[in-house]
Amino acid sequence: MELIFEKSVANHRCTLLPKLDVPLYEIDKSVARDTPFDLPEIAEIDLVRHYTKLSKETFGIDDGFYPLGSCTMKYNPKINETVASLKGFTDISPISSPEDVQGALQVYYESEQVLCEVTGMDHISFQPGAGAHGEFSGLLIIKKYHQSRGDFNRNKIIIPDSAHGTNPASAAMNGFKVITIPSKDGLVDLDELDKVLDDTVAGLMLTNPNTLGLYDSGILEITKKVHSYGGLCYYDGANLNAIMGVCKPGAMGFDCIHLNLHKTFSTPHGGGGPGVGACGCRDFLYPFLMNPRIIKTNKNEYAFEESGLSVGKVTAFYGNFLIVVRTLTYLKHLGCNGLREVSDNAVLNANYLRVKLKDTFNVAFDKICMHEFVLDLSSYKEKYGIRAIDICKRMIDFDMHPPTMYFPLIVHEALMFEPTETEGKQTLDKVVEILKNIAIEAKSGSVDLTKAPYTKSYKRMDEVKAAREPILRYVHEK
């Protein structure tokens, strides 16, 4: 496809601004721009055609099954978009007086109330921009907590080897040393945990269900052990979709959490954001939660409040507000029964898919899973030379988005499926049929899967070239 620059024609342009109705001010020559200023020049019709075309080369949930594990690609209700585009939400300044933005504060306040009940936390801040940012913030709260007690020795964070890459990375951003512990049967190995626990441990990061889709039934022992050494327990809530109304991270012993609102709470993922990594904590950590916080006064008004012990701010204002608007819309729509129904069916769908596929592919840890499960395709690689990526690329030919590949790292040739609750049985049955056919193709070699996809505008990409000879911007050929 052509780039917008390649469609540019000198002096073409779009919408004109209102006429300048004040005297023209010209900037002083000494500071004026003296290098070419290169943006596309394009008429509205050509702009529209360009991005309309691009949009059609982009597969979204609206186009089909999208079981990207650990990402909760559920249906994005259109009502969310309508609400998020109300002028009363889009056209307000973050530095207005609180009295002028009571509605916005109410959105935060109500969302906090509901999500505290869902997670068993006492407070939530919506400032972080996405899950990883929530982790960064949550660990910082833990760091600040320890330091506030005069405990400056706690410089380690324990993370299981199955963890998402953002976990160790966020710990490192907080200056922590990352202690990785190996898993046993996909779960936390209590012995390994014991080995690394001491009074230099700031805390443990865990997601439960974990990235294998398994619920760690030892969770109470795990968190108890960490607590007994004075460490805190951080919950990566990316997988909350599995347990809403079933159990609360708070009850599992977690002190601090983040939630991926864009995942569990149905905001369209926008090609990779914006999201919200809402960061929640128990009462004793509240002093350290990000500033400002939103409270309800005894006059029933909403107001800001600051804490002197807070870790401060992680984004300039209050985070991705319009995503929280979508979240609240979704929460109000679903209500208590709806949320439970989500989790029941997210788990049901994953197990159904797992059971239907287990005779064809090897399930990494084949037992009742939560909202996702992982296939181990190493036998396909060994026997037929077909890798996980080949199966994925072939799925594309059948108008499905592939699952997450090669994650978690502890499974070889991993394919991680998360169907979510918004897919029906018919869709799953069709997916099973297609995957079984692909398996036959892999085994028989009737189709060369290493060359898939075959039916789309683009064939497989040369990723090595991209990294070796980086071209990261368009430069006019002269």
Partner 1 sequence: MSYVVSTKEEQAQMLKDIGVKNTEELFNDVPKSVLLKTPLNIKEGVSEFEVLKDMEKIASKNRLFKSTFRGAGSYKHLIPEVVKHLSSISGFLTSYTPYQAEISQGNLQGMFEFQSEICNLFDMDVSNSSVYDGASAVAEAMLMTLTNKKNKILFSKSINPNVQAVIKTYAFARNVELIEVLSKDGCLDIEDLTLKMSEEVSAVIIQSPNYYGLLEDIEEIVNISHELGIMVVESVNPLIAPLVKSPGSLGVDIVCGEAQPLGLDRAFGGPYVGFMATKKVNMRKLPGRIVGQTVDEEGKRAYVLTLQAREQHIRREKASSSICTNQANSALRCVIYMGAMGKQGLKEVATQCMSKSHYACNEICRIEGYSLKYSGEFFDEFTIHTPYDIDEINNRLRKLNIEGPLRLSKCSMLVCVTEATSREEIDEFISILKEVSRWS
Ligand X SMILES: Cc1ncc(COP(=O)(O)O)c(C=O)c1O
Positions that interact with a second copy (CB under 8 A): 9, 12, 43-46, 48-49, 52-53, 56, 61-64, 75, 77-78, 422-424, 426-427
Give the one residue of 111, 211, 264, 310 binding ligand X; rule: CB under 6 A. Answer: 211
70 binds, among partner 1, ligand X, a second copy, none (CB under 5 to 8 A by kind): ligand X
Contact 187, 214 (CB under 8 A): yes
Give the one residue of 123, 196, 200, 245 binding partner 1; rule: CB under 8 A. Answer: 245
DSSP, res 176: P
Measured from the CB of residue 74, what is the shortest distance to a second copy in angstroms? 9
Q: Which residues pair with 376 in a beta bridge?
A: 362, 414
Write phi, then psi, for 405 (nearest 5 degrees): -105, 145
Instruction: Tokens for 183, please give them.
Output: 């898993």
Contact 127, 319 (CB under 8 A): yes
Q: Is 3 in the site for partner 1 (CB under 8 A)?
A: yes
Measured from the CB of residue 380, what is the shortest distance to partner 1 in angstroms? 19
Return the number of the residue (111 or 422) whose C-beta is nearest a second copy.
422
Cβ neighbours of 78 (radius 10 Å): 10
Contact 405, 385 (CB under 8 A): no
Stretch that binds ligand X, among 42-50, 220-228, 232-240, 459-467 (CB under 6 A): 232-240
Contact 204, 157 (CB under 8 A): yes
CA distance 49 to 12: 15
Q: Is 300 in the site for partner 1 (CB under 8 A)?
A: no
Residues in the chain: 478
What per-residue string of b and e applies to 224-256 under the rule 16 or more CB within 10 Å gives b? ebbeebbbbbbbbbbbbbbbbbeebbbebbbbb
Stretch that binds partner 1, among 22-30, 199-207, 379-387, 441-449 (CB under 8 A): 22-30
207 binds, among ligand X, partner 1, a second copy, none (CB under 5 to 8 A by kind): ligand X
Residues in region 59-118 near ligand X by CB under 6 A: 70-71
Return the number of the residue (386 or 411) whose C-beta is nearest ligand X.
411
Return the number of the residue (76 or 207) whose C-beta is nearest a second copy.
76
Give the one residue of 227, 282, 401, 412 binding partner 1; rule: CB under 8 A. Answer: 401
Return the number of the residue (220 or 440) whose C-beta is nearest partner 1.
220
Measured from the CB of residue 324, what is the shortest distance to ligand X in angstroms? 14
CA distance 330 to 342: 12
Instruction: Tokens for 177, please give them.
Output: 């040393």
DSSP, res 230: T
Residue recorded with tokens 């390649």: 6
Measured from the CB of residue 55, what is the shortest distance to partner 1 in angstroms? 4
Give the one residue of 121, 142, 158, 171 binding partner 1; rule: CB under 8 A. Answer: 171
Beta-carbon contacts of 109 under 8 Å, excluding residues fewer than 6 positions away, are 294, 295, 296, 302
Q: Which residues are near ligand X by CB under 6 A?
A: 70-71, 130-132, 164, 166, 207, 211, 236, 238-239, 260, 275, 277
